[in-house]
Structure 1
């Protein structure tokens, strides 16, 4: 006996319609509506207004462009508040999509199972900070310990011809900074040459040394790589006798003898490179670099300055001339330095300390005067 009601229609059985409805639900989900977004292709700074859609991939359409990104390649990147900014592993590294609509953002996030896979966690940030600090500490260690050691070892290996070339280049800079007006009064030049020759012999330096007096009011004297040194008129104006000038010149000859300027050039060049690498071009880094360089170079320079002072004392003793005048001239120029700046930051020993050392090493004059009264007068007037 047929149990089916004669009025029933198999096509209207709800149980037959159920499978069709079940298939329609995923289809409706796949066809979720899209909306507007902003796209940057990573190849230019052009902003593109696009319409995004959610199919088997994220699609982006504009009047002249069509782009699709696989959902599994999409990653969240930092963006402004209220904006979802994403990139794609399989697209240009700089390509970005920005979605400001909250519903669209939520739809995309729901479809991208790996969107936050590479975002930094606290542990990741801590590791980056840790490695950055370790790198900074390594650079500082290299600047403080390795570079001075390397400069000490490399300096004797530099041939004199190369050192002279560096010195010649530095002379051009000296003239551009302080002027190239050389003091050339004949009698003064003769007196200056006599003084340099008297100092050069006990210093055991050959006659290839070049020396000049420049007409500038700065009271200073300094040496350059390759056997060159300068005396400024300002220092002659401050000096009271030849022994004061001789002590300062003997100090500069000490720098030439020890090749301190070449060693400092290697040291400072390497330090500048590494400190620049450490700080980069961050705003305000210049002040940090300056402060770091000052402190890093301080102990290195003081050691060289003290060695040059020792050399000057030795030369003056060999000539039978007093050492105290050099210290008095330096003190007259700089005045009392204690308390003006921390000793750690000073590239030279404090003038008070140098004066005390020169006084302690002073001996009564046992050799002839380095210049006669007339020669000293001529040297003082070499720029007139």
Structure 2
């Protein structure tokens, strides 16, 4: 028994009310005097296995079907013709004899296209991470206003305190009148003949780690463990000069921006420091910072020249690096050319050679001030967990 449906040829917009018959030969036959595209005038046969239901059906009481496109590489894979079936019985019968009605066809070569585009996406991601973002970080590090960089650096230092267990800002920072004065005198001696672009904010954190960190915007943190490890104030001054070099070169800013990605770049540009995840990513980079060998070498050169202009011997720098080298003996040690940092031994030799050319040098601060600096954390409550290690 024939039912009726609404047929659209997809070209003229003309609608024909056609008779629809399910033929045992496996075709859905459409009949109307004006149908001229079939092998028989007034008749079109749509094979059951080529019928497809459109994915978006607006009504439950009708079914819109069409044909698979003639060419499997057609972008739509669906022909433009449409046939709207009405009547529950007809819809039920069509669904019963057309098992592929709801199939979503995939064009020939789709797998290759997917693999190709996935490869392109991976390549784009790698390009973004290892080329574009570093280039953007380098560019923005030189364009960001210093006051904005300083604000972000302070946020990173605050997060650094949280990492080491501080619950309140400044809780882990050591301070005493004589110790603060000694540290200020050391900074003044170093920068007197080597002006800096930043108002340096240098603090001592009550932690046993033998390290010092440079954060964006002139923020430098020296760990108490480093002061305890040093045999003289000149050793601390050498490390401080090295960290000041990183600050002046904006190495921490570039590295932190790369660590935080595009979100970090945007937040730094607009001055929004409320993104905790971004600030934490930058803080973690500062704590784990591994600068390039070139950046480390340049920082050592800067520190030696700074000490030289201040009239401070670089012998302390040589001693400090020699101590670090001795502390790593017995453990795995990469050759210099495989390391991202110059070896402690070569750094010590260069500092020692520089010291031999110096004359009329004096200690960066006197013995009483050095004692005051070593005692800056005395009586300070250590709430953070002490961590042993050396990365300077």
C-alpha displacement at 1:210, in angstroms? 1.4
Q: CA 1:214–1:29 in 2, change beyond 3 Å: closer, same or farther? A: closer
Q: Which whole-Å CA distance do the structure 2 matches of 1:273 and 1:226 have between them?
A: 15
Q: Which position in structure 2 is the counterpart of 1:351?
A: 344
SS for the counterpart of 1:152 is: helix
C-alpha displacement at 1:263, in angstroms? 2.1
C-alpha displacement at 1:240, in angstroms? 0.2
What does the per-residue CA deviation read over 1:244-284, in whole Å, with 9 as the maximum and x for residues that have no partner? Answer: 1110000111122222222223333337989xxxxxxxxxx
C-alpha displacement at 1:186, in angstroms? 2.2
| Contact residue 299 and residue 344 of structure 1 kept, 8 A | no
C-alpha displacement at 1:215, in angstroms? 1.2
Q: Which whole-Å CA distance do the structure 1 matches of 2:264 and 2:305 have between them?
A: 37
Q: CA 1:217–1:146 in 2, change beyond 3 Å: closer, same or farther? A: same
C-alpha displacement at 1:347, in angstroms? 4.8
2:226 is equivalent to residue 235 of structure 1: yes
Q: CA 1:358–1:115 in 2, change beyond 3 Å: closer, same or farther? A: same
Q: Using structure 1 for the length normalisation, give the TM-score.
A: 0.61
What does the per-residue CA deviation read over 1:47-66, in whole Å, with 9 as the maximum and x for residues that have no partner? Answer: xxxxxx99x9879xxxxx76
Q: Which position in structure 1 is the counterpart of 2:254?
A: 263
Q: CA 1:336–1:327 in 2, change beyond 3 Å: closer, same or farther? A: farther
SS for the counterpart of 1:361 is: helix
Matches within 5 A, 1:1-384: 26=23, 68=63, 70=65, 72=67, 107-109=97-99, 115=103, 117-118=105-106, 121=108, 123-178=109-164, 179=166, 180-205=171-196, 208-270=199-261, 301-333=292-324, 335-336=327-328, 339-340=332-333, 347-363=340-356, 364-384=358-378
| Contact residue 257 and residue 264 of structure 2 kept, 8 A | no
Q: Which position in structure 2 is the counterpart of 1:93?
A: none
C-alpha displacement at 1:173, in angstroms? 0.7
Q: Which whole-Å CA distance do the structure 2 matches of 1:166 and 1:208 have between them?
A: 14
Q: CA 1:89–1:224 in 2, change beyond 3 Å: closer, same or farther? A: farther
Q: Using structure 2 for the length normalisation, give the TM-score.
A: 0.60
Higher relative contact order (CA 8 A, sep 6+): 2
Q: Which whole-Å CA distance do the structure 1 matches of 2:79 and 2:238 have between them?
A: 70
Q: CA 1:138–1:89 in 2, change beyond 3 Å: closer, same or farther? A: same
Q: Which whole-Å CA distance do the structure 2 matches of 1:260 and 1:124 have between them?
A: 46
Q: CA 1:67–1:137 in 2, change beyond 3 Å: closer, same or farther? A: same
Q: Which position in structure 2 is the counterpart of 1:39?
A: none
SS for the counterpart of 2:355 is: coil
Q: Which position in structure 1 is the counterpart of 2:40?
A: none
Q: Which protein is bigger by CA-based radius of gyration?
A: 1
What does the per-residue CA deviation read over 1:280-305, in whole Å, with 9 as the maximum and x for residues that have no partner? Answer: xxxxxxxxxx9xx99xx999633322
Q: Which whole-Å CA distance do the structure 2 matches of 1:379 and 1:191 have between them?
A: 6
Deviates more, 1:127-136 or 1:334-343: 334-343
C-alpha displacement at 1:333, in angstroms? 4.1
C-alpha displacement at 1:319, in angstroms? 2.3
| Contact residue 167 and residue 224 of structure 1 kept, 8 A | yes
C-alpha displacement at 1:138, in angstroms? 3.3
C-alpha displacement at 1:381, in angstroms? 1.3
CA RMSD of aligned residues (A): 4.4
Q: Which position in structure 2 is the counterpart of 1:98?
A: none
Q: CA 1:135–1:352 in 2, change beyond 3 Å: closer, same or farther? A: farther
Unaligned runs of 5+ in 1: 1-23, 32-52, 60-64, 75-87, 91-103, 275-289
